[in-house]
Chain A
Amino acid sequence: MTLALRRAFPLPSIVGTIPMILVSIGVFVVGIGFSVLWSFTSSKLFPNYDFVGLLQYRRLWATDRWLVAVNNIWIFGFLSIGCNLVFGYLLAVFMDQRIRQEDAFRSIFLYPFAMSLIVTGLVWQWALDPNLGLQSAMRHLGWESFSFAPLVDPQLAIYGLVVAGIWQGSGVTMAILLAGLRGIDQEIWKAAKVDGIPDWRAYLFIGLPMMRGAVATAFVLQCVSVVRVYDLVVAMTGGGPGYSTTMPAVYVIQLITVRQNVGQGMAAATMMLLPILIVIAIGGILLWRRGRKAKAA
């Protein structure tokens, strides 16, 4: 082996990263490649290579269950990400007021995040159970007409999931945004105070834009967890009542395990990948343009 070649490919380094090579190429390139490939076939229980073109996609988009799942992920995504960011930022701003017992409050807001989504799902399944949770408790306290049982109503069940999502996730958002707030130069707050800008406007129009990084981080974290939401649905509603709270992640797993329709399952999985690819492409273009601008400057 020549010296130049040894510099370009240090052998121990390659040996040490064999797992990474296998995972990067084997799982995230070849694996995804096969998933996409199988989405064009008529695979049932096992993959086959009988290509049927876009038939699985056409069938998928004609399936009511999938349409419900797609609709649900939008509702759940918008509401849970939106509420998490707003509630998380509110908590962060209030935590930033030199309060006492900050660590105790932080621990309380953040502990649901440490628990499994299965646990969160069960907790809220009980909390919203009309015979056990909030509704029955209110009625026993004397408010006989109190009615709040979203999980048994197909129209409302998805909002029950949103509540659980907020309970689980807003503490993390708070932690990230609070770190962002603390990272802003103190002089800026003083300047705003001197200029007589009210606190709420300072937080909204000065604080938020100055911590774009933290907001983006919290947002991305929420997005990834929304696309992956599976455990929560399984534990809380099992996708029901009926299939009113099915999500794409649940739909794919059902197709490849219980309903043994791998072709369509892979088509659905590919549809899940698509928005992620678009977001990454946009992010990549933005980064590339910023890099070019930095070079030009």
Chain B
Amino acid sequence: MSAHDTAIDTRAGARAGIEPEGRKPRRISPGRIGIYAFLIMAAVFFLVPLYVMIVTSLKTMPEIRLGLLFNLPKEPTIQPWIDAMVNACTGLDCHGLSPGFWNSVKITVPSVIVSIICASLNGYALTYWPYKGANLLFALLVFGAFVPYQVVIYPLIIGLSWAGLFATLPGIIIIHTIFGMPLLTLLYRNFYASLPVELFKAARVDGAGFWRIFFMIMMPMSVPITIVAVILQVTGIWNDFLFGVVFAGRENWPMTVQLNNIVNSTTGVREYNINMAATILTAAVPLIVYFVSGRWFVRGIAAGAVKG
């Protein structure tokens, strides 16, 4: 069933204009069949869960109880999706995922903007205006990229409560800025270091200072790396669970936290169709980012992984 699905998917890809590179193999040898068999089986492994979730979310509960997991819905219904968005319950609160969705938006948008501004300034200052000790600070920051979150979470809880920001929206934005900083700073520093230094020198000769060079020259030039950074941060922050549940506070809980509460704490009958619709809805934003950005996403991972 779903192998068939994959075939449809790949043909759709061909129509979208993705052409294979290099010369075509002339004959279909057993070896090539083996290669495709392996790849298609792997693709099935990756796609089956998504397929099952989509068809299940379109079924009614009586149909799900029949247990025919892989069958297409006999009477497709979008009611589960509506319920997941506006009616599903966490405890006594029955507003579905929509509050969580808006909370996630409220957390993600400012966090992405603030963390990218901070990180690009860091990268710029480290590359062109290093001061004594700047490299030590940077080394500490890179070390921070490897530190398990659990080691610093409690001191941050105490610090934010002391500042009156614990369980508030600004608090969670600060947290995302902190934990996004190591990777993003690295990204921007490497990017600025790859630019020709003459550019900076010419601007200096013309009398431009730190901020002027940053706003007039560096910012317009860093569009490509900023796209990568935005993709990384939007998916990373949207997908975050741990910081959301610890630092955001009950009324700001992001979508992931609410999804987990809806699915894992329901008492009584488990409404799988609603749960699966809710899961797909939560995954939708990063998936859209992923499919729209395509190769940029891969580049982001690779760039982020260069630290090794």
A binding-site residues for B, Cβ under 8 Å:
8-10, 12-14, 16-17, 19-21, 23-32, 34-35, 38, 47, 90-91, 94-95, 97-119, 122-124, 126-127, 132-133, 136-137, 139-140, 167, 171-172, 175-176, 179, 213, 216-221, 224, 227-228, 230-231, 234-235, 238, 248-249, 252-253, 256-257, 262, 265-266, 268-270, 272-273, 276, 279-280
26 A-B pairs in the complex with CB atoms less than 8 angstroms apart? A8-B131, A17-B134, A19-B121, A19-B177, A23-B141, A28-B140, A35-B152, A38-B154, A100-B10, A101-B14, A107-B294, A113-B301, A114-B289, A115-B287, A116-B256, A117-B239, A122-B279, A124-B49, A175-B302, A217-B306, A217-B307, A234-B241, A234-B260, A257-B246, A269-B150, A270-B151
Neighbouring B residues of A256 by C-beta, 8 Å = 153-154, 157
Partner of A276, one of B146, B177, B264, B297: B146
Q: In the complex, are the beta carbons of A116 and B283 less than 8 A apart?
A: yes
CA of A103 to CA of B298, assembled, Å: 11
Partner of A100, one of B20, B157, B259, B264: B20
B binding-site residues for A, Cβ under 8 Å:
6, 9-10, 13-14, 18, 20-23, 25, 32, 35-36, 38-39, 42-43, 45-47, 49-50, 52-53, 64, 66-70, 118, 121-122, 124-126, 129-132, 134, 137-138, 140-141, 143-159, 177-178, 181, 185, 209-211, 214, 235, 238-242, 246, 256, 259-260, 263-264, 272, 275-276, 279, 282-283, 286-287, 289-291, 294, 297-298, 301-302, 305-308
Q: SS class of chain A's interface: helix, strand, loop or mixed?
A: helix
Q: In the complex, are the beta carbons of B150 and A116 less than 8 A apart?
A: no
Given the known A-B contacts A115-B239, A118-B256, are A265 and B124 also in contact in the complex, defined by CB atoms under 8 Å?
no
Given the known A-B contacts A17-B122, A17-B134, are A109 and B43 also in contact in the complex, defined by CB atoms under 8 Å?
yes
CA of A126 to CA of B13, assembled, Å: 29
Neighbouring B residues of A124 by C-beta, 8 Å = 49
Interface centre among A91, A122, A123 (most CB of B within 10 A): A122
CA of A111 to CA of B283, assembled, Å: 10
Given the known A-B contacts A27-B144, A175-B302, A217-B308, are A17 and B121 also in contact in the complex, defined by CB atoms under 8 Å?
yes
Q: In the complex, are the beta carbons of B118 and A253 less than 8 A apart?
A: no
Given the known A-B contacts A14-B131, A126-B272, A133-B69, are A235 and B260 also in contact in the complex, defined by CB atoms under 8 Å?
yes
Q: In the complex, are the beta carbons of A272 and B256 less than 8 A apart?
A: no
Interface centre among A30, A38, A107, A179 (most CB of B within 10 A): A107
CA of A227 to CA of B148, assembled, Å: 7
Given the known A-B contacts A122-B259, A140-B68, A269-B151, are A171 and B241 also in contact in the complex, defined by CB atoms under 8 Å?
no
Given the known A-B contacts A24-B140, A137-B69, A276-B146, are A231 and B241 also in contact in the complex, defined by CB atoms under 8 Å?
yes
Partner of A140, one of B14, B69, B129, B145: B69
Q: In the complex, are the beta carbons of A136 and B260 less than 8 A apart?
A: no
Q: In the complex, are the beta carbons of A13 and B210 less than 8 A apart?
A: yes
Closest-CB distance, A100 to chain B (whole angstroms): 4
Closest-CB distance, B299 to chain A (whole angstroms): 9
Given the known A-B contacts A94-B35, A273-B147, are A137 and B67 also in contact in the complex, defined by CB atoms under 8 Å?
yes
Q: In the complex, are the beta carbons of B242 and A35 less than 8 A apart?
A: no
Closest-CB distance, B208 to chain A (whole angstroms): 12
Given contact pairs A132-B69, A217-B305, enumerate 17 new A-B contacts (beta carbons under 8 Å): A16-B125, A17-B121, A19-B122, A35-B155, A100-B10, A103-B13, A110-B297, A111-B46, A117-B241, A118-B241, A127-B49, A140-B67, A167-B49, A172-B301, A179-B298, A220-B305, A280-B146
